Structure 1
Amino acid sequence: MKTKSWWKSLGYAIEGVLDATKTEKNLKIHIIFSVLILFLALFFNLKFLEYIILTITISLVIAAELFNTAIEYLVDALIKEKSEVAKRVKDVSAGAVLITAFGAIFVGYFVLFERIKNALSFNLQKLPNLPHHIAIVSLVITIALVVIIKSLIGRGEPLHGGMPSGHSAVAFSILISVIYLTKDVAVSLLVFLLCVLVAESRVRLKVHSMSEVIMGGLLGSGVTFLIFILIL
Protein backbone atom coordinates (compact mmCIF):
# COMPACT_ATOMS: atom_id res chain seq x y z
CA MET A 1 0.00 0.00 0.00
CA LYS A 2 2.80 2.40 0.86
CA THR A 3 4.51 1.76 -2.48
CA LYS A 4 1.27 2.39 -4.35
CA SER A 5 0.66 5.56 -2.37
CA TRP A 6 4.19 6.76 -3.10
CA TRP A 7 3.72 6.16 -6.84
CA LYS A 8 0.42 8.01 -6.75
CA SER A 9 2.04 10.95 -4.99
CA LEU A 10 4.82 10.99 -7.56
CA GLY A 11 2.25 10.95 -10.35
CA TYR A 12 0.34 13.84 -8.80
CA ALA A 13 3.56 15.81 -8.45
CA ILE A 14 4.47 15.25 -12.10
CA GLU A 15 0.95 16.25 -13.16
CA GLY A 16 1.33 19.45 -11.14
CA VAL A 17 4.59 20.35 -12.87
CA LEU A 18 3.16 19.59 -16.31
CA ASP A 19 -0.01 21.58 -15.61
CA ALA A 20 1.97 24.60 -14.43
CA THR A 21 4.27 24.34 -17.45
CA LYS A 22 1.29 24.33 -19.82
CA THR A 23 -0.36 27.38 -18.26
CA GLU A 24 2.58 29.53 -17.11
CA LYS A 25 4.74 31.17 -19.80
CA ASN A 26 7.38 32.27 -17.30
CA LEU A 27 7.87 28.70 -16.14
CA LYS A 28 8.37 27.59 -19.74
CA ILE A 29 11.01 30.28 -20.18
CA HIS A 30 12.79 29.23 -16.96
CA ILE A 31 12.83 25.58 -18.05
CA ILE A 32 14.11 26.39 -21.55
CA PHE A 33 16.93 28.55 -20.17
CA SER A 34 17.76 25.92 -17.55
CA VAL A 35 18.14 23.23 -20.20
CA LEU A 36 20.29 25.55 -22.33
CA ILE A 37 22.54 26.41 -19.38
CA LEU A 38 23.05 22.77 -18.42
CA PHE A 39 23.72 21.86 -22.05
CA LEU A 40 26.20 24.73 -22.38
CA ALA A 41 27.95 23.67 -19.19
CA LEU A 42 28.86 20.34 -20.79
CA PHE A 43 31.35 22.10 -23.08
CA PHE A 44 33.30 23.93 -20.36
CA ASN A 45 34.68 21.15 -18.18
CA LEU A 46 33.04 22.35 -14.97
CA LYS A 47 34.10 21.00 -11.61
CA PHE A 48 31.77 18.67 -9.73
CA LEU A 49 30.98 21.36 -7.15
CA GLU A 50 30.11 23.85 -9.90
CA TYR A 51 27.63 21.38 -11.40
CA ILE A 52 26.03 20.97 -7.98
CA ILE A 53 25.76 24.75 -7.53
CA LEU A 54 24.19 25.19 -10.98
CA THR A 55 21.74 22.34 -10.42
CA ILE A 56 20.63 23.61 -7.00
CA THR A 57 20.27 27.16 -8.32
CA ILE A 58 18.15 26.04 -11.28
CA SER A 59 16.02 23.87 -9.00
CA LEU A 60 15.39 26.82 -6.67
CA VAL A 61 14.24 29.06 -9.54
CA ILE A 62 11.84 26.45 -10.92
CA ALA A 63 10.56 25.57 -7.44
CA ALA A 64 9.97 29.26 -6.69
CA GLU A 65 7.99 29.61 -9.92
CA LEU A 66 5.91 26.54 -9.00
CA PHE A 67 5.19 27.96 -5.54
CA ASN A 68 4.22 31.26 -7.14
CA THR A 69 1.83 29.47 -9.50
CA ALA A 70 0.28 27.49 -6.64
CA ILE A 71 -0.23 30.67 -4.60
CA GLU A 72 -1.88 32.39 -7.57
CA TYR A 73 -4.25 29.42 -8.03
CA LEU A 74 -5.11 29.46 -4.33
CA VAL A 75 -5.72 33.21 -4.18
CA ASP A 76 -7.90 33.11 -7.30
CA ALA A 77 -9.93 30.24 -5.82
CA LEU A 78 -10.46 31.93 -2.43
CA ILE A 79 -10.88 35.55 -3.51
CA LYS A 80 -13.18 35.96 -6.49
CA GLU A 81 -13.53 39.74 -6.47
CA LYS A 82 -10.77 42.28 -7.02
CA SER A 83 -8.82 42.71 -3.79
CA GLU A 84 -5.80 44.71 -2.66
CA VAL A 85 -4.81 41.88 -0.32
CA ALA A 86 -4.89 39.36 -3.18
CA LYS A 87 -2.73 41.68 -5.27
CA ARG A 88 -0.17 42.01 -2.48
CA VAL A 89 0.00 38.26 -1.97
CA LYS A 90 0.63 37.70 -5.69
CA ASP A 91 3.18 40.53 -5.84
CA VAL A 92 5.14 39.12 -2.90
CA SER A 93 5.18 35.60 -4.34
CA ALA A 94 6.28 36.99 -7.71
CA GLY A 95 8.99 38.94 -5.89
CA ALA A 96 10.33 35.68 -4.46
CA VAL A 97 10.69 34.34 -8.01
CA LEU A 98 12.46 37.54 -9.06
CA ILE A 99 15.00 37.24 -6.23
CA THR A 100 15.81 33.62 -7.09
CA ALA A 101 16.09 34.51 -10.78
CA PHE A 102 18.57 37.30 -10.04
CA GLY A 103 20.50 34.92 -7.82
CA ALA A 104 20.62 32.40 -10.67
CA ILE A 105 21.94 35.07 -13.05
CA PHE A 106 24.79 35.90 -10.66
CA VAL A 107 25.62 32.21 -10.16
CA GLY A 108 25.64 31.67 -13.92
CA TYR A 109 27.87 34.71 -14.35
CA PHE A 110 30.45 33.59 -11.78
CA VAL A 111 30.49 29.98 -12.98
CA LEU A 112 30.25 30.35 -16.76
CA PHE A 113 31.01 33.89 -17.91
CA GLU A 114 34.82 33.75 -17.99
CA ARG A 115 34.76 30.39 -19.75
CA ILE A 116 32.27 31.63 -22.36
CA LYS A 117 34.17 34.88 -22.81
CA ASN A 118 37.50 33.13 -23.37
CA ALA A 119 35.99 30.66 -25.83
CA LEU A 120 34.12 33.28 -27.84
CA SER A 121 36.86 35.92 -27.75
CA PHE A 122 39.29 33.52 -29.39
CA ASN A 123 36.92 33.01 -32.33
CA LEU A 124 35.61 36.57 -32.59
CA GLN A 125 39.09 38.03 -32.90
CA LYS A 126 39.56 36.00 -36.08
CA LEU A 127 36.80 37.93 -37.82
CA PRO A 128 37.99 40.54 -40.33
CA ASN A 129 37.15 44.22 -39.96
CA LEU A 130 33.96 44.98 -41.86
CA PRO A 131 32.30 48.27 -42.90
CA HIS A 132 29.63 49.41 -40.46
CA HIS A 133 27.10 50.19 -43.20
CA ILE A 134 26.49 46.43 -43.56
CA ALA A 135 24.52 46.62 -40.31
CA ILE A 136 22.19 49.27 -41.79
CA VAL A 137 21.73 47.28 -45.01
CA SER A 138 20.94 44.13 -43.01
CA LEU A 139 18.44 46.02 -40.87
CA VAL A 140 16.64 47.49 -43.90
CA ILE A 141 16.43 44.07 -45.60
CA THR A 142 15.14 42.49 -42.37
CA ILE A 143 12.39 45.09 -41.98
CA ALA A 144 11.40 44.73 -45.65
CA LEU A 145 11.15 40.95 -45.29
CA VAL A 146 9.02 41.28 -42.15
CA VAL A 147 6.55 43.55 -43.97
CA ILE A 148 6.46 41.26 -47.03
CA ILE A 149 5.92 38.10 -44.97
CA LYS A 150 3.15 39.75 -42.94
CA SER A 151 1.39 40.85 -46.12
CA LEU A 152 1.64 37.34 -47.58
CA ILE A 153 0.40 35.62 -44.41
CA GLY A 154 -2.27 38.25 -43.83
CA ARG A 155 -1.94 38.37 -40.04
CA GLY A 156 -1.45 41.61 -38.12
CA GLU A 157 -0.44 45.03 -39.37
CA PRO A 158 2.91 45.89 -41.02
CA LEU A 159 4.22 47.43 -37.79
CA HIS A 160 2.01 45.75 -35.18
CA GLY A 161 1.26 42.11 -34.40
CA GLY A 162 1.24 39.15 -36.76
CA MET A 163 3.83 36.66 -37.97
CA PRO A 164 6.74 37.31 -37.56
CA SER A 165 7.47 39.82 -34.79
CA GLY A 166 9.14 42.87 -36.32
CA HIS A 167 10.54 44.07 -32.99
CA SER A 168 12.14 40.69 -32.37
CA ALA A 169 13.54 40.55 -35.92
CA VAL A 170 15.08 44.02 -35.64
CA ALA A 171 16.51 43.33 -32.18
CA PHE A 172 18.25 40.11 -33.19
CA SER A 173 19.45 41.63 -36.46
CA ILE A 174 21.18 44.31 -34.40
CA LEU A 175 22.63 41.61 -32.13
CA ILE A 176 24.37 39.83 -35.02
CA SER A 177 25.72 43.15 -36.31
CA VAL A 178 27.07 44.00 -32.87
CA ILE A 179 28.79 40.62 -32.63
CA TYR A 180 30.52 41.03 -35.99
CA LEU A 181 31.39 44.72 -35.67
CA THR A 182 32.52 44.96 -32.04
CA LYS A 183 33.98 41.44 -31.54
CA ASP A 184 33.35 42.07 -27.85
CA VAL A 185 31.81 39.21 -25.87
CA ALA A 186 30.61 41.32 -22.93
CA VAL A 187 28.92 43.89 -25.18
CA SER A 188 27.36 41.13 -27.29
CA LEU A 189 25.94 39.39 -24.21
CA LEU A 190 24.45 42.65 -22.95
CA VAL A 191 22.81 43.26 -26.33
CA PHE A 192 21.54 39.66 -26.30
CA LEU A 193 19.94 40.33 -22.91
CA LEU A 194 18.22 43.41 -24.35
CA CYS A 195 16.98 41.32 -27.29
CA VAL A 196 15.47 38.78 -24.92
CA LEU A 197 13.76 41.56 -22.95
CA VAL A 198 12.34 43.04 -26.17
CA ALA A 199 11.02 39.64 -27.29
CA GLU A 200 9.61 38.86 -23.85
CA SER A 201 7.85 42.23 -23.66
CA ARG A 202 6.04 41.57 -26.96
CA VAL A 203 4.69 38.31 -25.57
CA ARG A 204 3.84 39.82 -22.19
CA LEU A 205 1.93 42.69 -23.85
CA LYS A 206 0.06 40.06 -25.91
CA VAL A 207 1.06 41.75 -29.15
CA HIS A 208 2.71 38.53 -30.34
CA SER A 209 2.66 34.85 -29.50
CA MET A 210 5.82 33.01 -28.47
CA SER A 211 6.10 31.41 -31.92
CA GLU A 212 5.84 34.80 -33.66
CA VAL A 213 8.60 36.21 -31.47
CA ILE A 214 10.84 33.18 -32.06
CA MET A 215 10.31 33.34 -35.82
CA GLY A 216 11.09 37.06 -35.78
CA GLY A 217 14.33 36.42 -33.91
CA LEU A 218 15.31 33.65 -36.31
CA LEU A 219 14.50 35.82 -39.32
CA GLY A 220 16.45 38.86 -38.11
CA SER A 221 19.50 36.93 -36.95
CA GLY A 222 19.45 34.57 -39.94
CA VAL A 223 19.23 37.30 -42.59
CA THR A 224 21.93 39.42 -40.95
CA PHE A 225 24.21 36.43 -40.41
CA LEU A 226 23.78 35.41 -44.06
CA ILE A 227 24.63 38.92 -45.29
CA PHE A 228 27.80 39.07 -43.19
CA ILE A 229 28.81 35.59 -44.37
CA LEU A 230 28.32 36.60 -48.01
CA ILE A 231 30.40 39.75 -47.48
CA LEU A 232 33.17 37.69 -45.90
Structure 2
Amino acid sequence: MLKFIKGFGYAFSGIGYAFKTQLNFKFHIAALLVTAIAGWYFALSINEWLWIIAAAAIVLITELLNTAIEVLVDLVSPNFNPKAKIIKDAAAGGVLIAAIGAAIIGLIIFIPKIF
Protein backbone atom coordinates (compact mmCIF):
# COMPACT_ATOMS: atom_id res chain seq x y z
CA MET A 1 0.00 0.00 0.00
CA LEU A 2 2.87 2.37 0.79
CA LYS A 3 4.27 1.81 -2.72
CA PHE A 4 0.87 2.68 -4.18
CA ILE A 5 0.69 5.93 -2.19
CA LYS A 6 4.29 6.84 -3.14
CA GLY A 7 3.25 6.48 -6.78
CA PHE A 8 0.92 9.47 -6.35
CA GLY A 9 3.85 11.49 -5.02
CA TYR A 10 5.92 10.60 -8.08
CA ALA A 11 3.04 11.54 -10.37
CA PHE A 12 2.52 14.90 -8.66
CA SER A 13 6.27 15.48 -8.84
CA GLY A 14 6.13 14.98 -12.61
CA ILE A 15 3.21 17.37 -12.94
CA GLY A 16 5.07 19.89 -10.79
CA TYR A 17 8.17 19.56 -12.95
CA ALA A 18 6.14 20.22 -16.09
CA PHE A 19 4.44 23.21 -14.49
CA LYS A 20 7.73 24.71 -13.32
CA THR A 21 9.69 24.14 -16.52
CA GLN A 22 7.27 24.11 -19.44
CA LEU A 23 5.73 27.39 -20.57
CA ASN A 24 3.19 25.55 -22.74
CA PHE A 25 2.00 23.49 -19.77
CA LYS A 26 1.39 26.71 -17.83
CA PHE A 27 -0.48 28.13 -20.82
CA HIS A 28 -2.71 25.04 -21.02
CA ILE A 29 -3.46 25.24 -17.28
CA ALA A 30 -4.36 28.94 -17.65
CA ALA A 31 -6.59 28.13 -20.65
CA LEU A 32 -8.28 25.42 -18.61
CA LEU A 33 -8.97 27.87 -15.76
CA VAL A 34 -10.45 30.44 -18.17
CA THR A 35 -12.54 27.70 -19.78
CA ALA A 36 -13.78 26.47 -16.38
CA ILE A 37 -14.80 30.00 -15.38
CA ALA A 38 -16.58 30.46 -18.71
CA GLY A 39 -18.25 27.08 -18.27
CA TRP A 40 -19.51 28.08 -14.85
CA TYR A 41 -20.70 31.46 -16.18
CA PHE A 42 -22.60 29.90 -19.07
CA ALA A 43 -23.92 27.03 -16.90
CA LEU A 44 -22.71 24.24 -19.16
CA SER A 45 -24.69 21.02 -19.26
CA ILE A 46 -23.22 17.77 -17.92
CA ASN A 47 -22.51 16.62 -21.48
CA GLU A 48 -20.72 19.86 -22.32
CA TRP A 49 -18.61 19.58 -19.14
CA LEU A 50 -17.71 16.01 -20.08
CA TRP A 51 -16.42 17.20 -23.48
CA ILE A 52 -14.45 20.03 -21.86
CA ILE A 53 -12.94 17.69 -19.25
CA ALA A 54 -12.03 15.08 -21.87
CA ALA A 55 -10.42 17.67 -24.15
CA ALA A 56 -8.48 19.27 -21.29
CA ALA A 57 -7.28 15.89 -20.04
CA ILE A 58 -6.06 14.91 -23.51
CA VAL A 59 -4.14 18.19 -23.88
CA LEU A 60 -2.53 17.93 -20.43
CA ILE A 61 -1.67 14.25 -20.93
CA THR A 62 -0.04 14.91 -24.30
CA GLU A 63 1.87 17.87 -22.83
CA LEU A 64 3.19 15.68 -19.99
CA LEU A 65 4.16 12.91 -22.41
CA ASN A 66 5.85 15.48 -24.64
CA THR A 67 7.84 16.75 -21.67
CA ALA A 68 8.88 13.21 -20.74
CA ILE A 69 9.94 12.47 -24.33
CA GLU A 70 11.95 15.70 -24.54
CA VAL A 71 13.80 14.94 -21.29
CA LEU A 72 14.46 11.35 -22.38
CA VAL A 73 15.77 12.43 -25.78
CA ASP A 74 18.04 15.01 -24.14
CA LEU A 75 19.34 12.28 -21.81
CA VAL A 76 20.19 9.77 -24.53
CA SER A 77 21.22 12.30 -27.18
CA PRO A 78 22.68 15.41 -25.53
CA ASN A 79 24.25 16.61 -28.78
CA PHE A 80 22.21 17.60 -31.82
CA ASN A 81 20.94 14.61 -33.74
CA PRO A 82 18.50 14.88 -36.66
CA LYS A 83 16.58 11.82 -35.45
CA ALA A 84 16.29 13.31 -31.96
CA LYS A 85 14.81 16.43 -33.56
CA ILE A 86 12.23 14.34 -35.41
CA ILE A 87 11.24 12.60 -32.16
CA LYS A 88 10.82 15.93 -30.35
CA ASP A 89 8.96 17.51 -33.26
CA ALA A 90 6.57 14.57 -33.56
CA ALA A 91 5.81 14.66 -29.83
CA ALA A 92 5.17 18.41 -30.04
CA GLY A 93 2.93 17.78 -33.04
CA GLY A 94 0.83 15.46 -30.91
CA VAL A 95 0.30 18.25 -28.40
CA LEU A 96 -0.61 20.66 -31.19
CA ILE A 97 -3.24 18.29 -32.58
CA ALA A 98 -4.70 17.76 -29.10
CA ALA A 99 -4.80 21.53 -28.48
CA ILE A 100 -6.46 22.23 -31.84
CA GLY A 101 -9.05 19.54 -31.10
CA ALA A 102 -9.70 21.04 -27.65
CA ALA A 103 -10.06 24.52 -29.16
CA ILE A 104 -12.58 23.23 -31.70
CA ILE A 105 -14.58 21.55 -28.94
CA GLY A 106 -14.50 24.81 -26.98
CA LEU A 107 -15.68 26.79 -29.97
CA ILE A 108 -18.53 24.37 -30.67
CA ILE A 109 -19.69 24.63 -27.07
CA PHE A 110 -19.16 28.33 -26.37
CA ILE A 111 -19.95 30.14 -29.64
CA PRO A 112 -23.70 29.40 -29.48
CA LYS A 113 -23.77 30.55 -25.85
CA ILE A 114 -21.96 33.81 -26.63
CA PHE A 115 -24.18 34.72 -29.59
TM-score by length of 2: 0.97
Query: How many aligned residue pairs are there?
Result: 115
**Aligned counterpart in structure 2 of residue 14 of structure 1, from 3, 12, 15:** 12
Specify every segment of 5 or more residues in structure 1 that has no aligned partner in the other structure, as ranges: 119-232
1:98, CA displacement in angstroms?
0.4
Q: Distance in 2 between matches of 1:7 and 1:72?
A: 27
**Aligned counterpart in structure 2 of residue 85 of structure 1, from 83, 98, 103:** 83
Q: Distance in 2 between matches of 1:34 and 1:7?
A: 27
Once the two structures are superposed, residues 30-51 of structure 1 have per-residue CA deviations (whole angstroms, 9 ceiling, x without a partner) of 0001011011100112111110
Once the two structures are superposed, residues 8-65 of structure 1 have per-residue CA deviations (whole angstroms, 9 ceiling, x without a partner) of 0001000100011100001000000101101110011211111011001001001100
Q: Distance in 1 between matches of 2:83 and 2:13?
A: 29
DSSP 3-state at the match of 2:100: helix
Q: Distance in 1 between matches of 2:96 and 2:79?
A: 26
DSSP 3-state at the match of 1:42: helix
Per the alignment, residue 72 of structure 1 pairs with 70
Structure 1 segment 185-204 matched on structure 2, within 5 A: none
Work out which structure has the larger RCO, using CA pairs closer than 8 Å and 6 or more positions apart in sequence: 2
- Across the aligned residues of Structure 1 and Structure 2, the Cα RMSD in angstroms comes to 0.7
Q: Which amino acid aligns with 2:76?
A: L
Q: Which amino acid aligns with 1:17?
A: I
**Aligned counterpart in structure 1 of residue 39 of structure 2, from 38, 41, 53:** 41
Compare the two structures and name the one with the higher helix fraction: 2
Structure label with greater radius of gyration: 1
Give the ranges of 4+ consecutive aligned residues of structure 1 lying more than 6 Å apart after TM superposition. Answer: none
Per the alignment, residue 102 of structure 2 pairs with 104
Specify every segment of 5 or more residues in structure 2 that has no aligned partner in the other structure, as ranges: none
Per the alignment, residue 60 of structure 1 pairs with 58
